[in-house]
Amino acid sequence: MSCCQTLQSTEPQDSGQQSTAQRLDEERVRAASRLVEGQLYQTDFTVPDMHCAACIGTIERGLNSMDQVVSVRANLTTRTVAVVWDAERGPGSAIINFLARLGFDANLQFLGENDSAATDDKGRLLLRSLAVAGFAAANIMLLSVSVWSGADLETAKLFHLISGLIAVPAVVYAGQPFFTSALKALSARRLNMDVPISLAVLLALAMSVFESFTNGAEAYFDAAVTLLFFLLIGRYLDHLMRQKARGAVDQLAQLTAKGGVCVDDPKSPTFVALEDISEGMRLRVHPGERLPVDGRIVQGQTDVDRSLVTGEAASVVCREGDLLEAGVLNQTGSIDIIATSDCRNSFLAEVTKMMDAAERGRGLYVGIADRMARLYAPAVHLLALATFIGWMIYSGGDWHSSIYTSIAVLIITCPCALGLAVPVVHVIGAHQLMRRGIMIRDGSAFERLAEVDHVVFDKTGTLTSGQPAVVQAPHLDMEAIGCVVALSNRSSHPAAKAIAQAFDGGEGATLCDIKEVPGMGIQAHSKVGMVRLGRPNWVAEIAGATPLSMDHSGVAFAQQDGALAFFELEDRLRPDAAGTIAALQQAGLKVEILSGDHAKTVAAVAGELGVASFRDRMTPADKIQYIEKQQSKGGRVLMVGDGINDAPALAAAHASMAPASASDVGRLASDIVFTRPHLKAVLIARELALRTGRHIRQNFALALLYNCLAIPLAVTGQITPLLAAIAMSTSSIVVIANSMRLNLYREPQFEQNAESVAGTAEDADAPDRHTKELEAAA
């Protein structure tokens, strides 16, 4: 019997018991739904009371039994349920009512909305409850120490009374997260983990109050409050992880423009909200704005940042007739586009849906503690009940001793050590990672990272630094250098910034009529005439070269009627990329490169790093399809990427990592983010993940050993509730002490490719060295 198993089939409740969410009419449900095809709609619901894998099973089995439901996919990480339903077979509003009968409150999730306010309120409640429980536990423990030390009877009575005055309001307030959940489960005739927890806490509190008022020798206020304190720690950590898990999809939504300027009538441009933009509408997009929907350029020319699509940092010049995707950034010039999609069917919407589907398709991993605790709730209740009945028979109806023994069983079998087995190790492991510049977003990533056997790297921004740098500069006189410095300093283009950095400290010439031409470069007038810095064909127009003969990928500079000069730019490899990949291969992991770049460029990087398998020109859909194919064969893939275009693949992979230089969406979609510019973080994270798994298994073994020894003693009446509380606390201390051994971890060592590192450093110094040579010659 699982922790969320339904005790018996649920019957429809009275309309007076239905919540406001259950009475939402069909129009509101339709407004929150997305039309799939025909009369099929997809509606997303937030279900905050979904706590474990058994809850997912209850929801999916229940909803699949409805006539109008076609498919159901529940996401434990974000606590959402996506339902595809047929409007011809029944109303969508019935889904909310059915979830309510199962004991789950559900809310509609509208396009562009999120439940961050409700999430923040829940987090604040947990934090306040944790603070109250911690304060009460510390003070009650101080009083209990005096009682345990042999205080006289009157002093013990006084301390019990004071402990009760602290414990009762503290338990009532701090226990809200568990009591509320337990009441909802019981009202729907279900059991969950919060039912025995609440029962143990309340019984211990009630018996403590009874003992205090009847001058009993013992009270258990400390056990009740301390148990509550440790359980709240685990619940709050779980809340933080789930809150961060929702960030990637929310960040993608933030990339969507709120609307666009419609110029169907050029004389009266009007702003149109995103949801009102339709296919065929003419929109104007200014520099610095993102495209609200997919569209074709019909007027204008500009540089566009398409890193969302390709992952490549280099800007692309776009002209009339070019197709652009929703979410791409217009950098330099105003353009008019004809919308080729609406907001629900745009490229950005597809990326969001792919990432959400990939996250739902992870297999819905649950923590080891949840898997082991599925039998806990019914087993503890049955064991406590059997103990009570057995002692009633054995003692001849002595209900006092029977209840005492049953409370001892509930306390000594409390999930404190079991609940701490995972989160404490995760906290210490996360701290060890943080000390090394590595941040983990999801505690369950430790388990998944330890299981990987296949590592996939993106190229740009992951294996490379993501920032272009000048690797070869032309021979220029001092006057030309001054023009290059002045032009590059006035442009915000990444290539211009790289050239400006190469001549850092150089004095710029005096120029006038400086103008940046969208998609081409920047030009101005000097004392010798026009000067240009930008695309070779465009620069060649003022030089003595034929544009059609130009086949050069670098950045060109020329003065009026002068010779063309080329700057070679290159995105350099990270210094330890070769050593990291070699170490991964030595560990028996398969390593591959997936990139949206050209075959020649990807092949060169793969050859330099010793990677035999690579794929080029990969779109976001290609990457996620490839990863899913590998995992369908039994592989467990670690994806290391940085771009928005990598977000779906990061979400689909068994585990994922991203550098801090990655896009916001890429970082939020990954399980782990490393802030240092070294790929060695991949090795460190994996080694810590392996150690974390070992410590968790050791903790479970200790917790099980404790229960195997303590439960028989409690059932036979050899342990009082006070000793049970001490044993419970001791088991928690042992688990924490074992977890602390993770602090002894030392980083793995591996050989770096000295030639690669030296070559990178030499290339980095080349522009400065060349500048010094030019200055010396002058």
pLDDT at 455: 94
* CA dist 332 → 275, 314, 408, 467, 517 (Å): 26, 14, 73, 20, 8
Looking at residue 54, what is its pLDDT?
60
Residue ranges and CATH numbers for the domains of the chain are: 258-291+293-342 (2.70.150.10), 438-465+574-689 (3.40.50.1000), 467-547+554-572 (3.40.1110.10)
Q: Which of 193-207, 508-522, 725-739 has the highest mean pLDDT?
A: 508-522
pLDDT digits (tens, 9 = 90+) for 59-79: 888 898 898 899 887 766 567
User: What pLDDT is attached to residue 626?
Assistant: 92
More confident residue, 2 or 398: 398
Which range, 33-37, 176-180, 687-691, is most confident?
A: 687-691
Give me 286's structure tokens.
């200014």
**pLDDT value at 778 more than 90:** no
Taking residues 122-133, report their average pLDDT. Answer: 88
Whole-number pLDDT of residue 467: 73
pLDDT at 266: 80
Most confident of 6-20, 432-446, 465-479, 692-706: 692-706
* Of 98-102, 111-115, 651-655, the least confident: 111-115
Residue 48 has pLDDT above 60, yes or no: yes
pLDDT tens-digit readout, 160-194: 788 889 999 999 999 888 888 788 778 877 666 67
Identify the residue with better confidence: 396 or 116.
396
Q: 721-759 in b/e burial notation, b at 16+ Cβ within 10 A?
A: bbbbbbbbbebbebbbebbeebeebeeeeeebbeebbee
pLDDT at residue 350 in the model: 66
Between 619 and 774, residue with greater pLDDT: 619
Is 458 an annotated catalytic residue? Answer: yes
Instruction: Taking residues 451-470, report their average pLDDT.
Output: 84
Q: Check pLDDT > 60 for residue 115.
A: no
Query: pLDDT exceeding 90 applies to what percent of the chain?
Result: 12
Q: What is the pLDDT of residue 173?
A: 93
Residue 206: per-residue pLDDT? 83
- Of 297 and 238, the structure prediction assigns the larger pLDDT to 297
Q: Which residue has the higher pLDDT, 240 or 290?
A: 290
- Over residues 302-325, the mean pLDDT reads 77
- 426-444 residue pLDDT tens: 777 877 887 787 877 666 7
The predicted structure's pLDDT at residue 665? 65
Q: Say what the alpha-carbon torsion angle 269, 273, 279, 280 is, to the nearest 10 degrees.
A: 0
Checking if the pLDDT of 138 tops 80, the result is yes
Using CA atoms, how far residue 68 sits from 41, 61, 353, in Å, is: 10, 14, 23
| Confidence (pLDDT) at 298 | 94
- Are β-strands 529-534 and 555-559 bridged in parallel, bridged antiparallel, or unpaired? antiparallel
Point out the least confidently predicted range of 268-282, 484-498, 764-778: 764-778
Q: Which residue has the higher pLDDT, 551 or 766?
A: 551
The active-site residue, picked from 356, 458, 642, 646, is 458
Distance CA 554, CA 533 (A): 11
Q: Which pLDDT band, with edges at 50, 70 and 90, does 296 fall under?
A: very high
Bin 398: left if φ > 0, else alpha if -120 < ψ < 50, else beta.
beta
Question: Does the structure show a pLDDT above 80 at 453?
Answer: yes
Residue 547 to residue 616: CA distance in whole angstroms: 29
pLDDT at 573: 84
What confidence category does residue 25 fall into, taking pLDDT thresholds of 50, 70 and 90? low
| Arithmetic mean of pLDDT over the chain | 77
Coil, helix or strand at residue 150: coil
Mean pLDDT of 277-283: 92
Q: What is the pLDDT of residue 744?
A: 86
pLDDT of residue 767: 36
> In this predicted structure, what is the pLDDT of residue 34?
74
Q: Where are the alpha helices (DSSP H) in 282-436?
A: 307-310, 347-360, 368-372, 376-394, 399-412, 416-420, 423-435
pLDDT at residue 376 in the model = 65
Higher per-residue confidence, 554 vs 170: 170
Going from the C-alpha of 70 to that of each of 66, 88, 215, 736, the distances in angstroms are: 9, 12, 63, 47
State the average pLDDT over residues 225-245.
68
Taking residues 67-94, what's their average pLDDT?
Answer: 82
User: What whole-number distance in Å separates Cα of residue 645 and Cα of residue 312?
Assistant: 9
* Lowest-pLDDT choice from 38-52, 268-282, 476-490, 685-699: 38-52
Q: How far is CA 555 from the centre of its chain?
A: 38
What is the structure's pLDDT at 595? 85
Residue 299 has pLDDT above 60, yes or no: yes
Report pLDDT for 132: 94
Q: What is the pLDDT of residue 141?
A: 82
Res 703: pLDDT:
83
Say what the pLDDT of residue 772 is. Answer: 41
Q: Average pLDDT, stretch 642-667? A: 77
Given CA atoms 402, 403, 408, 414 in this order, what sign does their dihedral have?
positive
**Contact status, residue 343 vs residue 419, Cβ threshold 8 Å:** no
pLDDT of residue 170: 93
The per-residue pLDDT for 7 is 35
Q: Could you tell me the CA-to-CA distances from 207 to 190, 218, 314 in Å, in that order?
A: 26, 10, 70
Give residue-wise pLDDT tens across range 347-388.
Answer: 777 666 644 543 443 433 334 554 555 566 577 778 888 998
Bridge partners (DSSP) of residue 517 are 521
Instruction: Concatenate the DSSP letters of all residues of 505-574 into one string.
Output: TPPPPP-EEEEEETTTEEEEEETTEEEEEE-HHHHGGGTTS-GGG----SEEEEETT---EEEEEE-PBP
For the entire predicted model, the pTM comes to: 0.53
The answer to whether residue 765 scores a pLDDT higher than 50 is: no
